[in-house]
Structure 1
Amino acid sequence: MDDVAHRIYAYAARQSSVEEDDLRKQSGLPTTEADQAIQRLKDLHLLIPCNEARNRYVARPPAIASTTVLLPAIRELQQRQRELDEASALLAELTSLYRPEAATGEGLQNITDLTAVRQVITDLSTQCRSEVLTSQPGGARPETALKEASERTIGLLNRGVRMRTIYHHTAQFSQPTVRHVDMLTRLGAEVRTVSDAFSRLLVFDGEAAIIDLRGQRTGGVLVRDPSVIDSLVASFERAWAQAMPFPVTYNREHTVTVSDDLKLVLLRLLVEGHEDKIIAKRLGVSLRTYQRHLAEVMKRIGARNRLHAGYLVHKLRLLDRDS
């Protein structure tokens, strides 16, 4: 309702009935604009045709018009409200029956769909109150994963939630990962790196965790069992205590230390007899990068082959500093 429609309605309300031409004159506007205002009044049932004259109208009281205009909408809202009440009652009934731990009997729930895993992580992040622990193996992370994680983590840090993350040493050689860590540490996140293998893990407030689902790269396991959670947190804390701060600027001494740590772990895994693919995965590097490191290590210790390398490692006690 604009001023023109108000003016036309006020005039019509003072008359027992009024012709359409008179209403146009009262508007003081060209015919087209006047007709638009009159049509608005008709749509609201504030102007209704006179029974005895085709182009003559009677102003209708707003209270009566509102019944005609609003009643269908009110009925629709009432129907929607009934549907919402029924749905809420059904969900409440089903909630009382649902037990996440029933999925495995031990407070574990397998989630095979990646979208569902992401939604669970988002929900747990939203509900988190005090601290999130995360460990992200595999070295450099895809930029899409970093972007998704950034949005959640920024929201957590802005709410005052403590955030601690563990990466592989090799993650610090990825510029996208370095930029990601730099941004988050400026907001208060704590990030460290380790040389050896660890599992992917997210723990929220020491009450719920997400771990990898065996045999499913895109799946996860939602853990709520307190005993399992305590064990996961203890493993994280042991790794955290041995980890090194993630450097966001180049430091030659730190880089040399990291490189030496990686080579020691490589030697230990080699002597233990692990396959190349397994060692590369535990170091968080590609198979090609691992093979380059292996060649450097073999050359440094003067080993002719892997058997000779194992002999030299024991003879020279090269792993003593790693024990």
Structure 2
Amino acid sequence: MNIRVPTPDDVAAAADRIRGHVRRTPLIGVPSGTFGVDAPLALKLELLQHSGSFKPRGVFNRALTRDVPPAGLVIASGGNAALALLHVGRRLGHAVEVFVPETAPAVKVAKLHHYGANVHQAGRDFAAAVVASERRAAETGALLMHAYDQPEVVAGQGTVALELERQCPDLDTVLVACGGGGLAGGMAAWFDRRVRVVAVEASGSPTLAAARAAGERVTISVGGVAADALGASRIGAIAWEIAQRAIDEVVVVPGEEILDARQRLWDELRICAEPGAAAPLAALVNGGYVPEANERVAVIVCGGNSDPATLKAAR
């Protein structure tokens, strides 16, 4: 199968295209010892992006490169891509329709309904929602959007890396959460081995780790605390192509350590991240990734669509 993989030029073009539609999210530095990590870190706060995650970057890029039919846009999502599509549709004046699994977090589904989205809950997992969205697009003629496995979407997500490099030009390593691989793949496409990319997966959905072990993309069972955001059952075809040459390492972290890292973000910085967004920090906290002396490390905090009531009181 011929897979079109975004290049750095595609990412740069996406950045130009979506400028004015997305936020330049802040990068903050934290000193060594913060979170119990023996290294200074830079946190890219992509959870402050429109709709609460990095997802609008890719959705805007695809929507702005296609002729959108009167039926509008349709997507399947665990929640964040649906929220992004709703934002993009409102901004560009397109009708949108979203399919989420029955297991989608109530806080995300409620937010979709609050903003008037046409929401369908279909099946127990993301794969079932994808099938329903594809069927709907065929019926209505709507432009099908994929949460992570279309070239324009991956290139759009790669603009996080382009922006990060401009904010931190002497970066050595970036840790990024990986589910379907749109963000990790897009960032690796931009850096193209100039910066070390470490993909971090939850133990309940290690799609890239499983593919590397098998030497090919495989379907896995999905579960655990981060399944809503990192709940793909198979690494995206585009991300897999990129990963084989440009993602340096994959770290898998247990769910309880993700929740601990999430709590630390709240305790130390009052950042309310969703579990999947805390996975990269968990890899540093638990020693899954240990920076070398003087290594300049960035962590992508990629989503904040989470219920603050699930966090503990200040410790």
Taking structure 1 as the reference length, the TM-score comes to 0.28
Q: Identify which of structures 1 and 2 has the higher relative contact order when contacts are C-alpha pairs closer than 8 Å and 6+ apart.
A: 2
The structure that has the greater radius of gyration is 1
Higher helix share: 1
